[in-house]
Amino acid sequence: MKMIFRYAICALMILAIAHRGRAQTMSPEAMVGQILATHIGPSGLPSDFLIQGQVTDAGGTKSLRMQVKGKDKIRYEQTQSCQTLVSVFNAGTAWAGATTGLKPLMEHASARRPIELPFLDVIGELGNPYWKVRYIGEEAAGGGTVLHFAVHFTDPVPSQKRFLQRALNEDVDFFVDARTNLIVRSQRLQMANDSMDFRVPSLLDFSDYRQINGMMIPFRIVNTIGNRNAGIRQITMVLQSVLINQGIPDSAFRPQ
């Protein structure tokens, strides 16, 4: 029995060393490729998502309807009592407000990804020539180990064509559970809707992953915005259903 136990310990040590060796020898790009494959599954990305759930913040709980098409078309509808607030993002153009009075957002606030689905965030641009990643290393978190990646995406639009000639580059840190290969956190500095100069920290924590059509979807997303100096706001999104490939029309991503 002692001999079997000794062999088991040796086997675990060999596996641990092999795991560390892969982390050290694989390129950061290859590691991210494995992470995305874990989330997306063998079938690849679907064309669209229809999501139902709830959003809770200091103002109470609202019902949520979210439509996603591709990487840059999103429609959020949040309803509380008889009031529905809508935000629509369509490939760099956006509107927000009450259903009967949507108003355009500034250019920098209009460039948004469906970051609630972490594999559709900037990490999903793997292979794009404007995309770069650095592997920071392993870190302890929540009683486990996470792999820390820093991703930079250079704005493909020339800066002279942007408002105030300021490029809309993206910098996001991702933290991946070393055991499951699932993204458990993203971290960025978020610009205010009405100012390019005011940025606050934004953390998205992902949990309660469930498999939907072969894809791993987080059904609980907690967004912590701000810091001690600027104040902290927390928003919790709990998904109730996720439907894939519903044939969402492009008209859903225009002001109506």
Quote the pLDDT of residue 7: 39
Q: Which domain holds residue 241?
A: 28-80+113-246
| Residue 102 domain flag | no
Average of per-residue pLDDT across 100-114: 88
| Residue 97 domain flag | no
- Span 177-195, pLDDT tens digits: 999 999 999 999 887 767 6
Quote the pLDDT of residue 248: 96
Quote the pLDDT of residue 193: 67
| Strands 183-192, 131-141: pairing kind | unpaired
| Residue 183 domain flag | yes
DSSP for 67-131, please give it: EEETTTEEEEEEEETTEEEEEEEETTEEEEEETT--EEPPHHHH----TTSGGGSGGGGTT-TTE
Confidence tier at 229 by pLDDT (50, 70, 90):
confident
Quote the pLDDT of residue 2: 38
| Residue 203 domain flag | yes
Tokens matching residue 215: 């894809």
Quote the pLDDT of residue 126: 96
Quote the pLDDT of residue 10: 43
Does the structure show a pLDDT above 70 at 58? yes
Average of per-residue pLDDT across 121-147: 94
| Residue 87 domain flag | no
Confidence tier at 256 by pLDDT (50, 70, 90):
confident
Between 54 and 14, the more confident residue is 54
Does the structure show a pLDDT above 80 at 20? no
Going by C-alpha positions, the residue among 208, 46, 182 that lies closest to residue 114 is: 46
Average of per-residue pLDDT across 87-106: 91
Does the structure show a pLDDT above 50 at 209? yes
* Measured CA angle at 210 (ends 183, 187), to 5 deg: 25
Does the structure show a pLDDT above 50 at 53? yes
158 SS3 class: coil
CATH number (domain holding residue 65): 2.50.20
Identify the top-confidence range among 40-44, 109-113, 218-222.
Answer: 218-222
Percent of all residues in the chain with a pLDDT value above 90, rounded to a whole number? 64
- Please, what is the average pLDDT of the chain? 87
| Residue 140 domain flag | yes
| Residue 152 domain flag | yes
Looking at the structure of the chain, the number of domains it has is: 1
Confidence tier at 15 by pLDDT (50, 70, 90):
very low
| Residue 8 domain flag | no
